Amino acid sequence: MHFQDVDQLTSFLDEESIRFHKVGVFDMDGVFRGKYMDRDKFESSLRKGFGFCDVVLGWDSNDQLFDNTEVSGWHTGYRDAPVSLDLSTVRKIPFEDDTILVIAQFDGDYEAVCPRRLLGRSIAKAKSMGFGVRAALEYEFFMFKETPESARAKGYRDLEPLTPGMFGYSMLRSGVHAELYHELLESMELLECPIEGLHTETGPGVIEAALRHDEALAAADKGALFKTFTKILAQRMGLMATFMSKWSNEYPGQSGHIHISLEDHETKHNVFYAGDDPDGLSQTMRWFMGGQVTLLPELLPMICSTVNAYRRLVPGMWAPTHANWGIENRTTAMRAIPGGPNSTRSECRVGPADANPYLALGAALASGLWGIENKVEPPPVIVGSAYANPSDAGVPLPGTLGEATRKFSASKVARELFGDAFVDHFAATRDWEDRLARKHVTDWDLARYFEII
């Protein structure tokens, strides 16, 4: 739904007898934090904005307060941060009658660390260079015959997947569970997050959804809402969906691939396509890929932002381990897809399903634009398996969140692209995440060392 102004929206609310109004912001981890508002408060917020407790920028995904940030903390008194509602994000919620949803973003002093605002600044940069940005996200997620209560009671062990075995692209599985697939397809269409392709992946209960491409900010909104409402829909059906990068030692991790194309702002032609090039790739695209590959080791925490994300980056698990690129090569970190004049694009394959869509897409876009500005030639293209010859595979990616965060914090280019306020705040939140993990004694530790060492 698209509204020109607040008056047009309020007329729509009356015409559709909308009784419930939900608003929310996405935090540093991409978690949707929000509330219901009554009609008067909602209208006032549309016109003047409102205050949202800055604690949502000062705690982690488990509501534990950071002890190392300046943006939010006891020293700020957890005051209200100014936020504004984006009229372009209004949509009905399919399984909540007479209810609409609107996405908000942080303003004022908090704008510099707002994930959605960060992506907006990268898009504005592209526009100043004469480009429009189109993007699409695709996600793998596992479905379980569990509830939040049963999963906790089991200590997240011995969980029962929706389906058994390794059965990618299974018409059998999707036919048996057609009601789930249909509900997901229909609900996301109504939520204005249309799914272009939906199929089983390799693993018990794993599904992959490719979302329809759109302008970059709308694509990120769709990705963030898709993950949130897929989990809601699953739990309403007595199931659980997880987007964590790697939930099992036995199965491949879950990806969140990022597709980007640039178009001429005036002609709308895809500037990545070149009909006279043997591979169909323009020089502009090669510079874009050069920037992405060059900066990936420095910007990795914006894409792989959890401790668990690095469990996925191991050889042979369909996830890259080095900063490199290939043409139609699914073993590389960056994949150039020669799709002709309409769909030639870059695919960032290092992305996990648990990434914050705004930050991951923002990093992938900003690094590519940096490559164009600086005419960065990409390294030699990888042909065949990127795992076959590690010495020729490119720069190794950081192997842990802690290592990646230190590299990110020290990156001059990251600070040029995103500003000191964001880099300092986000690095502090990732350092917190890493410290929590290092305090924890795992099952692997116990099995490895308890008796033998």
Which of 10-19, 151-160, 322-331, 389-398 is the least confident region? 389-398
Ranges assigned E (strand) in 180-319: 195-200, 206-211, 214-215, 240-242, 256-264
Task: Tell me the average pLDDT across 230-259.
Answer: 96
CATH number for the domain whose boundaries are 122-418: 3.30.590.10
Q: According to DSSP H, which parts of 87-177 are helical? A: 115-128, 148-153, 171-176
- In this predicted structure, what is the pLDDT of residue 393? 85
pLDDT, residue 315, reads 76
Record the tokens describing residue 345, joined without a space.
């694009």
Phi and psi at residue 240, in whole multiples of 5°? -135, 140
pTM above 0.75, yes or no: yes
Residue found under tokens 């020290």: 410
Q: How many C-beta neighbours within 10 Å does residue 210 have?
A: 16
pLDDT at 59 over 90: yes
pLDDT, residue 390, reads 79
Among 204, 246, 224, which residue's Cα sits nearest to residue 31?
A: 224
Question: 6-113 with 122-418: one CATH topology?
Answer: no
Pick the CATH number of 6-113 from 3.10.20.70, 3.40.50.620, 3.40.50.300, 2.40.420.20: 3.10.20.70
The domain locations on the chain are 6-113, 122-418
Question: Given a cut of 90, is residue 190 above it in pLDDT?
Answer: yes
